[in-house]
Structure 1
Amino acid sequence: MRGPRSRYYALRAIGWLADQLLLFLVPVLAFKLTGSLAWSGIALTAQWAPRLIALPIGGLLADRFDVAAFYVVNDLIRCIAGVVGVAAIVLYPDAAGATVIVFSIVAGVCCEQTLVAGEKLAGRLIPAEIMPGAQSLLGSLEQGALLLAPAIGGGLVLLDTVWTALIITILFTMSLAIALSLPRSSETESRSVGGSLPGLASELATGIRTIVRIPVLLGFVAATMLVNLLLGAVQTAAPELVVGTYGHSEGVLGTMYTVAGFAAMATMPAMKRLIRRFGLLRVAAAASLTQAVVFTLLTSASLFWVFAGLVAIFMVGDSMFTVVIRIVRITVVRPNQFGRTVAAVHTLNFAPVPLIGLVLAAADGRVPLGIVIPTLGLVTLVSLALLMLRLRPLAATDPDLHPLEKERRPRTLVS
């Protein structure tokens, strides 16, 4: 199993890197071409809206088909889209920006579906007793993608657009090769697919009802929605702040994210010890509340290095919170409901991202970021604090949310 597990880690790392390149480059490209915060917000919304539509469908299909085969199909679509995109950029260079945005939408839809499949593959390939450590490793790999994507993307911003599509297409090809090598399930997982949209909507509603029936999961989903609202605002506003307020180039924006990624990666090895000592809820509370505080202070930084430091602290909190939410959902959701439930979880988690893109686009030229950012930060801070207080008694009574404590309990034989 070590061989397939290692290939699984490589698969997730490559997928995250390609996806983060798209997420980083498209809003920056939109700002570079227009110099407008409004277009940066619109680009963020254009990226995320199709992803959210694709998530429920991906979750339902992941519950019906072998997830390794499902991964292969989506990687193949991404590769084809990449080849077509590269050809279109070469043949129609004047439409390069639009081509990259369309490519990012198609690839993003597939990325969200492989995200669900990748989460379900973790349950198959990774034993429960090492899941917390594995999730920390996955968090490190994801943070590594966050680290490399801005560094590579910052350079690609300065180069011809064709290199963007070409490099991402190469990453998708590597992902496809690894996905083809993963073992298929030995169990009969697949079921016939009901073709009607009402059937899909019904099962998505089932996933949402599952979330509602698990109060701890519902609370963590609500907290994640608030955290992602802040993250979307940072992604949208950072080009305007770095270029417009501090007078630096888009390349400096990439460097800033790279430094923030290094800081976030440095916290990952300590996550297992932190969770063992303080528990999932305290780590989640510390991470999310810190994010809200530093977000509130972003536009009050008079010096660029102070602003960059606040962004780094925000990214550290985001990486810590990501590890916690992964452990929570893979712990409390039953395997036979995992695909549809995680699809519903991700749909809710990222629903605020396109919303905040539209809000910042509408505010551009009307309400300054110096008012929008602190107001949003304070409202989120209060909301997160109330949520964490609500989650405290729920998490304390749920033994499944203490996986590291369970590792140390003596095992009993079941006849």
Structure 2
Amino acid sequence: MNNVRMLSFLGSRAASALGDQFLMFAVPLIVYHSTGSATMSGLAFLCEWLPRVISLPLAGTFSDRLGGRRVYALADGTRAGACLLAALGLSMWPGHSFAMAAILMAICAACYAQAFIALESTVPMLVPPEQMPKAQSILQAIDYSAGVLGPALAGALSLWLAPSQLLWAACGVFAVSAAGVCTLPPMPLRAAASQPSERRPLFLDSLQHGFATLRQAPVLLALVALSMLVNLVVGLALSTSAAVTVGVFGKTDQVYATLQAFMGMLSIASFLLVPWLLRRASVYQLGMAAFALIISGGVLMGLASHYSIFVLGYALSFGLCGLFNVFIRTERLHWIPKEKLGRVISVIVLLNQLSLPLSGLLVTLLANRIPLQWLFIGAALLAFGLWMPLQAYIRPRAVTAQPSLA
């Protein structure tokens, strides 16, 4: 039964990931075409990621107390409705495109947090620990397979449709995801859901449990720091990729779609190598190598004077995020009690993703003051400077560095 549940849940995750990709393609183009400003693109990215980060502590508690199936279905159902309303609004009031796109992304971002934590806290209930690296690789493969299909479909549709009209497609796949999750049988709630004596606010309850676990396992804080550095570089790329592609280098929407699809193809290719790589290196070694290459990609994006160099840097930063995430997700599960997974992971992801709205804020404040690509160089130098002391602390403690988990 667990295998059936896992397959059903992964199918819904695939539909949801496809919806995410439609939004990631359409919304930056809606914003840039309506404003022509990298600064406004950064502000839109901030509007997207700040609600996502703020809602994460609540996401863990909702998942633990209500069950992943309910939370996931509600989140994707809400996203389907938001895309439907935004598509109607943009067709009726195109002069307010930025405001409607920002509101849409804020709603979808908050719902994404709920769905993400529901997924993260449910998978360990279905997969034994020794199969967790493989399961996390499958989840990453689903995300990046959608990263190929989503932009490819969006790019093809954009030959006939405006970016705002692609929101209809996003609405459809989110609705399919919600409907698929609703067909799953109810899953058992965690022990925390059956403790009626807990009367504290959900937000404080989740934060207290999460930070208490982090204090007991400082290696989790070091993993968080690594993730924040990666997300700072990735956030800068996400918040500016449409502006850089269409504005700085003068490319078309279809070239932007090709860039996004190519990133998904590269990520899938890297995952095809995971079994071969795991026979020759530990999960830890793969994660550290991926980190170094991701930050190197940030340097290339910062120094790029031709679009091909920017694409190469973009490819390194995005194509290897999956390998890095397999390491992070696998390692942290060794340090978190299963009965606290939802709340602890929500706090960890909250901290991990703080650098994403920060990247949007940096673009908003600095894009009109310094060359946009200088931001990549600054972020990469910071990451390289902190990498060595973090690695020296994590290496002797990491469970995934042991040969038995290679």
How far 1:232 moved relative to its partner? 0.4
Cα 1:287–1:13 change in 2 (3 A) is same
Cα 1:102–1:152 change in 2 (3 A) is farther
How far 1:265 moved relative to its partner? 0.9
Count how many residue pairs are aligned between Structure 1 and Structure 2. Answer: 402
**Partner in structure 2 of residue 334 of structure 1:** 337
Which residue, out of 286, 300, 305, partners 1:302? 305
**Partner in structure 2 of residue 22 of structure 1:** 23
2:361 and 2:189 map into 1 onto residues whose CA distance is: 44
Determine if the alignment matches structure 1 residue 4 to structure 2 residue 5: yes
Cα 1:37–1:156 change in 2 (3 A) is farther
**Partner in structure 1 of residue 45 of structure 2:** 44
Cα 1:138–1:43 change in 2 (3 A) is same
Could you give the per-residue CA deviations for residues 9-66 of structure 1, whole angstroms, max 9, x where no partner exists?
Answer: 1111112221233234323321221111100100000000011111110111111122
Normalised to the residue count of structure 1, the TM-score between the two structures is: 0.89
Alignment of 1:85-100 (within 5 A): 85-100=86-101
How far 1:206 moved relative to its partner? 2.2
**Partner in structure 1 of residue 251 of structure 2:** 248
**Partner in structure 2 of residue 405 of structure 1:** 404
Please say if residues 76 and 176 of structure 1, whose CA atoms lie closer than 8 Å, have aligned partners that are also in contact: yes
Farther-moved stretch of structure 1 (163-172 vs 109-118): 163-172
How far 1:151 moved relative to its partner? 2.7
Determine if the alignment matches structure 1 residue 236 to structure 2 residue 239: yes
**Partner in structure 2 of residue 311 of structure 1:** 314
**RMSD of aligned alpha carbons:** 2.4
Alignment of 1:61-100 (within 5 A): 61-100=62-101
Determine if the alignment matches structure 1 residue 168 to structure 2 residue 167: no
Matched to 2:176, the amino acid is M
**Partner in structure 2 of residue 31 of structure 1:** 32
**Partner in structure 1 of residue 273 of structure 2:** 270
Normalised to the residue count of structure 2, the TM-score between the two structures is: 0.91
Please say if residues 100 and 165 of structure 1, whose CA atoms lie closer than 8 Å, have aligned partners that are also in contact: no
1:227 and 1:188 map into 2 onto residues whose CA distance is: 31
Residue segments in structure 1 that go unaligned for 5+ positions in a row:
408-415
2:213 and 2:310 map into 1 onto residues whose CA distance is: 40
**Partner in structure 2 of residue 208 of structure 1:** 211
Could you give the per-residue CA deviations for residues 334-353 of structure 1, whole angstroms, max 9, x where no partner exists?
Answer: 11110110100110111011
Cα 1:101–1:134 change in 2 (3 A) is same
Aligned sequence identity (%): 27
Matched to 1:223, the amino acid is L
Please say if residues 12 and 180 of structure 2, whose CA atoms lie closer than 8 Å, have aligned partners that are also in contact: yes
Could you give the per-residue CA deviations for residues 212-247 of structure 1, whole angstroms, max 9, x where no partner exists?
Answer: 322332211110010000000111222232223322
Cα 1:32–1:128 change in 2 (3 A) is same
How far 1:188 moved relative to its partner? 6.3
1:144 and 1:103 map into 2 onto residues whose CA distance is: 24
1:40 and 1:156 map into 2 onto residues whose CA distance is: 22
Determine if the alignment matches structure 1 residue 223 to structure 2 residue 226: yes
How far 1:91 moved relative to its partner? 4.1
How far 1:193 moved relative to its partner? 9.2
Farther-moved stretch of structure 1 (285-294 vs 325-334): 325-334
Aligned residue for 2:273, secondary structure, equals helix
1:246 and 1:47 map into 2 onto residues whose CA distance is: 25
Determine if the alignment matches structure 1 residue 365 to structure 2 residue 372: no
Please say if residues 297 and 315 of structure 2, whose CA atoms lie closer than 8 Å, have aligned partners that are also in contact: no
Cα 1:157–1:101 change in 2 (3 A) is farther
How far 1:302 moved relative to its partner? 3.0
1:7 and 1:17 map into 2 onto residues whose CA distance is: 16
**Partner in structure 2 of residue 352 of structure 1:** 355
**Partner in structure 1 of residue 137 of structure 2:** 136
Please say if residues 27 and 41 of structure 1, whose CA atoms lie closer than 8 Å, have aligned partners that are also in contact: no
How far 1:372 moved relative to its partner? 2.7
Matched to 1:180, the amino acid is C
**Partner in structure 2 of residue 410 of structure 1:** none
Aligned residue for 1:60, secondary structure, equals helix
Please say if residues 221 and 349 of structure 1, whose CA atoms lie closer than 8 Å, have aligned partners that are also in contact: yes
